[in-house]
Amino acid sequence: MNRNELARVAHAMVATGRGLLAADESTGTIKKRFDKIKVEGTEENRRAYRELLFTAPGMAEHISGVILYDETLRQSTKGGERFADFLTRLGVVPGIKVDAGTKPMPNFPNEVATEGLDGLAARLAEYYSLGARFAKWRAVIDIGDGIPSRTCIETNAELLARYAALCQEAQIVPIVEPEVLMDGGHSIERCEAVTDEVLATVFDRLLAQRVYLEGIVLKPNMVISGQKAANRASAQQVADATLRCLKRHVPPAVPGIAFLSGGQSEAEATLHLDLMNRTGPLPWLLSFSYGRALQASALSAWGGAAASVPSAQREFLKRARLCGLATLGRYESALEKQAA
Residues annotated as catalytic are 219
φ and ψ at residue 62, rounded to 5 degrees:
-120, -15
**Which residue type does 328 have?**
L
φ and ψ at residue 282, rounded to 5 degrees:
-120, 155
DSSP secondary structure of 176-226:
EEEEE---SS--HHHHHHHHHHHHHHHHHHHHHTT--GGG-EE-PPP----
| C-alpha distances out from residue 4 to 125, 127, 214, Å | 19, 20, 9
Q: Please tell me the chain's helix, strand, coil percentages from 3-state DSSP, rounded to the nearest 5.
A: 50, 15, 35
State the helix-helix crossing angle for 27-36 and 43-54, rounded to 10 degrees: 80
Closest by Cα among 247, 270, 261, 249 to 325: 270
Q: Which helix (H) or strand (E) holds 135?
A: strand 134-141
End-to-end CA distance of the chain: 43
Work out whether the CA dihedral 247, 251, 257, 261 comes out positive or negative.
Answer: negative
Closest by Cα among 183, 187, 159, 9 to 99: 159
